[in-house]
Chains A and B, each alone.
Chain A
């Protein structure tokens, strides 16, 4: 093993560019799939609230599938499997346009949507039933009750779990390297292969991941404190 030399990796413009590019791609995958997951989670929550038995069952199956199949397998199913069922023109288009990243965002987003929607649902269930009855009695309609009375409390209840799962999503974006997305872990492997400075490269990546995760946790804690209502249970 060579001597410890952090500068050898950081001062090399090529390596630096690969690592920064990787971090950028990690952000794109993480933020893209977060947005997809959150919108889908809200949709799933609304669908689950519909007074129809079958939707309850369908959403339940969706959540069970995405929580019980390893994320890596979901990624592979999308990237190797479902992509092969698409029409040829679309496949070629995706191959030319960073299709790995698109499939990574779809797979991670759909998977995380299951977790987010469960978080929101437990948050909603933790709101006492009297809140709904009281709001209805005061003349709110169902939608108004949801929007002005129930959801503000439900989201506050769900916030810690949503933040935890957002950190998981950020960490899971590293799995995209298995299908060839050039994100941070992928870039780290490349730099390591070229520089042979394994320890330094891993250290840089680990600290970067750790700082980002801790930043999300800290931001979540601040948000939690800002929105919490003093005196509330």
Chain B
């Protein structure tokens, strides 16, 4: 049993790591990592805009952003993937690779969930910070940019890291539309071997576990450090426990 695992890893480690690159598209763990990193990097600025819209009193901003957040919270990611898979080629008039489909979906989905994290961070800061900044002569956006956001984003860093873990887990759904990533590579190996499905998927689970567990521990450490550093200051969002608010998959 153990030898089977070692054999499978020895024979297929390159496929698990980078897919069929350079003879085919980049896949495997590298694609998983690039996909999740890019999606969070692009979703982050988007999420700040959505959070502003959700906090705004203007109904033209408030309503669409609220609808977006509730749709992301209420509709399975798989359904969103199918939508993007269908709509993006229609809108831009050309076929796009599965990688791009998955990236677009994740940016929208993560953007919606991250916006709730950012909004939670801003709300938890309390009104005093904003009122003081305005009283000192900052405009609304100046106060946001120089006073509110630096504190709020610093406080929610652990939750953003947890959202990154969620993104890694969500990239597995790319398998459904044949995006070459880690789960896809494991399925390729399974289809070649045919006889050892348990061993192959066990290896797959272990890889994800090691990566995500390490990052989750890092988020917890970060959370404790931030809580210690800001002890006695406003705005530690107690409800923003990294595990409780993020999307989970």
Residues of A whose CB lies within 8 Å of any CB of B are 1, 64-65, 67-74, 76-77, 80-82, 84-85, 115, 118-119, 122, 161, 164-165, 167-168, 171-175, 177-178, 185, 188-189, 198-199, 202, 205-206, 209-210, 212-214, 217
Contacts and interface: CB of A to CB of B under 8 A. Distances in A.
Contact of B79 (A80, A122, A205): A205
Given A199-B86, A213-B73, A67 B79 contact: no
Contacts, number: 131
13 contacts: A64-B209, A67-B243, A72-B175, A73-B205, A77-B198, A80-B198, A119-B244, A122-B241, A209-B76, A210-B70, A210-B75, A212-B74, A213-B74
A110 to B, nearest CB: 13
A220 B247 CA distance: 18
A176 B173 CA distance: 11
Interface string B192-214: 00000111111011001100110
Contacts of A67: 216, 243, 248
Contact of A171 (B70, B77, B83): B77
A230 B107 CA distance: 41
A77 B75 contact: no
Given A72-B183, A188-B82, A214-B70, A80 B190 contact: yes
Given A70-B208, A172-B76, A80 B201 contact: yes
A113 B241 CA distance: 19
Contacts of B241: 122
A121 to B, nearest CB: 11
Contact of A65 (B75, B209, B248): B209
B81 to A, nearest CB: 10
Contact of B82 (A64, A202, A212, A214): A202
B78 interface: yes
B176 A81 contact: no
A80 B170 CA distance: 20
Contacts of B70: 210, 214
B172 interface: yes
A148 to B, nearest CB: 27
Given A188-B82, A213-B75, 17 more contacts: A69-B169, A70-B208, A72-B172, A73-B201, A76-B186, A81-B197, A82-B198, A85-B198, A118-B243, A119-B244, A164-B244, A168-B249, A171-B77, A174-B77, A175-B76, A185-B82, A206-B83
